[in-house]
Amino acid sequence: MCGRYTLAPGQGDWEFADVRVQWDGKPRYNIAPSQRAPVIITERGVPVLTEMQWGLVPSWATDPKIAFSLVNARSESAATKPAFRAAFRYRRCLVPADGFYEWQTIGKKKQPWRFVRPDRGLFAFAGLWEAWSAPGRPNEVLHTFSLMTTTPNIVTEPVHDRMPVILEESGVRPWLEESTSLEVLQSLLHPYPAELLTRYPVSALVGNPKNDGMECIAEVALGSSETQVVQGQLW
């Protein structure tokens, strides 16, 4: 799964293939489930940047707490799973990021790693989104999203058995377009090329979602006290 990611670049123009948007928010160094984060959707075919809550709440749900179990959507089953299948067909989004974290179990400890492009550039996760209203309150709409995951590449595999789907440039526009066939959509959900990803160890600070400063992305030495994270701190 993917339970943390980063969006360190601040204000400016963002470009993914031919999708261009402008962001005027602050850098984020430790985005966690239940927090709001920027996503890109289409409105009448035009890419639009908005903010949604991480953790998908299907339109049919009776309790928004279901979001905690729908932070990620497995690429192998999202098209048919009741919680995701409508969003997979009609409500797909890009989730801008410049890195993500995974935890490696080493003995009784968990070591956090940050995964980034070698050039530290932006990329786009494949995401799904939904609009939900509480029963009896149709005017109060909660917009939420989930990240697609897939099998690991050789960079992520030593740390975790899943990785978020990072769209290659050729897949960005098809993922957003409503007319894209299910077959093409499924073909986009593969591991990111290993040569376009690298990793380094970071502090246990990322285990606490209240920490959202530059120290979260700072590289640390393996085996130092800073790298140790206690089971249960991740959420």
User: Among all residues, which ones are annotated catalytic?
Assistant: 2, 102
Query: What tokens were used for 118?
Result: 């070698």
Three-state SS annotation for 58-103: CCCCCCHHHHHHCCEEECCCCCCCCCCHHHHHHCEEEEEECEEEEE
- Buried b or exposed e, range 51-85, using 16+ CB within 10 angstroms: ebbbbbbbeebeeeebbeebbbbebeebeeeebbb
Neighbours of 166 (CB within 10 A): 24
3-state SS assignment for residue 234: coil
Nearest Cα to 37, choosing from 28, 46, 45? 28
Burial 4-39 (b: 16+ CB within 10 A, else e): bbbbbbeeeebebbebebebeeeebbbbbbeebbbb
Provide the 3-class DSSP secondary structure of residue 40: strand
